[in-house]
Structure 1
Amino acid sequence: MSSSQLTPVAFDIETSGFDTDAIITVAGFAHGLGESLFLNTGGHSEVDRKALVTSLDKESTGAVQLEVVEDEAALLEAVSSFVTDQLDGDTHYVTAFNGETWNGGFDLPFCRTRFLHHGLRWPFGDIAYADMIQLVDRFNTHDHSDLVGVYDVLVGEETCDPFDDSAEAVDAFETGEWLSLCEHNLADIQRTRKLAELAGQFVARSDFKMKNLQPPSR
């Protein structure tokens, strides 16, 4: 399984916090055609999906597909459908920035817990995963090790991120600032995919620590 033969699909989630009752508020994928976002409003308010898509499309690398749901279970089911229908283990690999490493990570462990909570099947089947944070030391990033810092050093292009700190995404969910919340997720998946593309050009295949996300019982 070689990184040079697979196309990166960047993945990132936003959550309502870090407590035991925290939920996923946004899940996003950046791929070759643009981005696919899944927004959970928690039933807080009505959402003008068309207006959101119009605004997000202006920041997309292609086109934004947006699905708006009212609870976390529906978001996870939508993510499952996307992974099953759109991702191909012979063509794609999933990537994130500190999404999951051998000794930690955030996005995938959080997702596993939420899928378990809702009694839903883990959707990531026979597909590879590589974490971009594990490739940071293959570049001189001037001691930056966070996504924004590494991206700014290696790429430096403007993004649509309206937040100075990811913690602001928690407040945005509580106050129903849906565009800002989606823009933040959009910026992060775009950053991650751009770093994956750079790594594919400059980093040796052997340095991509690819793992398979399929559980052994599958």
Structure 2
Amino acid sequence: MALELVAFDIETTGFEVSDEVTVVGFAVPMGVRAFVQTDGRAAPDVEAAVRDRVESHVQVSTHESERVLLEAVGAFAADRLVGNDVLLVAFNGELWRSGFDLPFLRTRLSRVGVEWPFREMPYADLLPVVTNRFNTTGDDGESRSDLAGVYEVLCDGQYSDLDPFADSAEAVTAYEDGRFGDLVVHNVADVLRTRELGLLSERYCSKSDFKLKSLTPTRHE
């Protein structure tokens, strides 16, 4: 039986060890589950605002702090992902000696004392699969290696117009300004693009091209 592909992506306040996770999103076959923290600020009707702009089914929950968000992600993973034949994928989420999402998440979980949420499931990074097994050179002659660029070259681009940001760095400003709807829509666009690239890779690449690794920690309670 084939593993169910679940795409994963996070947004943060920056890249330093003291920066925080602001959004965590998962794209599953039935839609998107997103978690956003507001740092105690009011954020009424975020889910409704996101659903007005996204055709896919989206469920959004708001949380008053990073810790509460990470605890909610852990509960979701335990209920929906762990033990359900899931393949978690990301685009540059974690590679050998590089990647962003998973290393950043480990640091923040350890800082706030929340347990690692991804156990008993395999993980594969799509960046090397896509860039090594597909031609990602656009009509301008430039090779693409970022999520938005690779997606635009290889897929039909249906989620490109969904993203309200021209650059991912805008996610930091949106969070600071309290534009949580825009921030979540950006994350939704990213996880949907990631999942589409994953499905494309499954159709045209061999199993050996996916360098699977276990995310189960060596020691856990």
If the length of structure 2 is used for normalisation, what is the TM-score? Answer: 0.92
Partner of 1:39: helix, strand, or coil? strand
Q: What's 2:209 paired with?
A: 207
Query: Aligned-pair distance for 1:60?
Result: 4.2
What is the SS of the residue equivalent to 1:105?
coil
Within a 5 Å distance, the mapping from 1:128-167 to structure 2 comes to 128-136=122-130, 137-142=132-137, 143-159=143-159, 160-167=162-169
* 2:13 corresponds to which of 16, 33, 37: 16
Matched, 1:41 2:38: yes
Q: Deviation of residue 58 (structure 1)?
A: 4.2
Q: 1:213 to 1:64 in 2, by over 3 A?
A: same
SS at match of 1:209: coil
- Deviation, structure 1 residue 20: 2.7
Do 1:98 and 1:132's aligned partners in 2 also have CA atoms closer than 8 Å? yes
Structure 1 95/156 Cα, relative in aligned 2: closer, same or farther at 3 Å? same
Task: Output the amino acid matched with 1:39.
Answer: V
Give 1:90 shift: 4.3
CA contact (8 A) 2:9 2:24 kept: yes
Contact kept in structure 1, 2:151 and 2:193, CA below 8 Å: yes
Distance 2:68 2:91 in 1: 25
Instruction: Report the CA distance between 1:59 and its aligned residue.
Output: 4.7
Q: Which residue of 2 aligns with 1:190?
A: 192
Distance in 1 of aligned mates of 2:54 and 2:88:
19
Distance 2:78 2:117 in 1: 7
Q: Which amino acid aligns with 1:20?
A: V
Q: Find the residue that maps to 2:93 and give its secondary structure.
A: coil
Q: CA contact under 8 A between 1:38 and 1:66: conserved in structure 2?
A: yes
Aligned residue identity for 1:71:
S
The 2-side partners of 1:90 and 1:212 are apart by 14
Percent of aligned positions with the same letter in both sequences? 45
Q: Which residue is 2:174 aligned to?
A: 172
- Please list the CA deviations of residues 153-212 of structure 1 after superposition, one character each: whole Å capped at 9, or x if unmatched: 001323210001100000000000111101110000000000000011110011110000
3-state secondary structure, aligned to 2:171: helix
- Specify which of 69, 75, 82 is matched with residue 63 of structure 2: 69
Aligned residues: 212
Deviation at 1:88, TM superposition (A): 3.7
Gaps of 5+ in 1: none
Compute the displacement of 1:22 (Å).
0.5
Provide runs of 4+ in structure 1 moved above 6 Å.
none
**Does the 8 A contact of 2:82 with 2:118 survive in 1?**
no
Distance 1:187 1:68, change over 3 A: same
Letter paired with 1:86: R
Q: 1:92 aligns with which of 86, 105, 108?
A: 86
- 3-state SS of the aligned residue for 1:5? coil
Report what 2:140 is aligned to.
Answer: none
| Counterpart residue type for residue 84 of structure 1 | A
**CA-atom RMSD, angstroms?**
1.4
Q: Which amino acid aligns with 1:175?
A: D
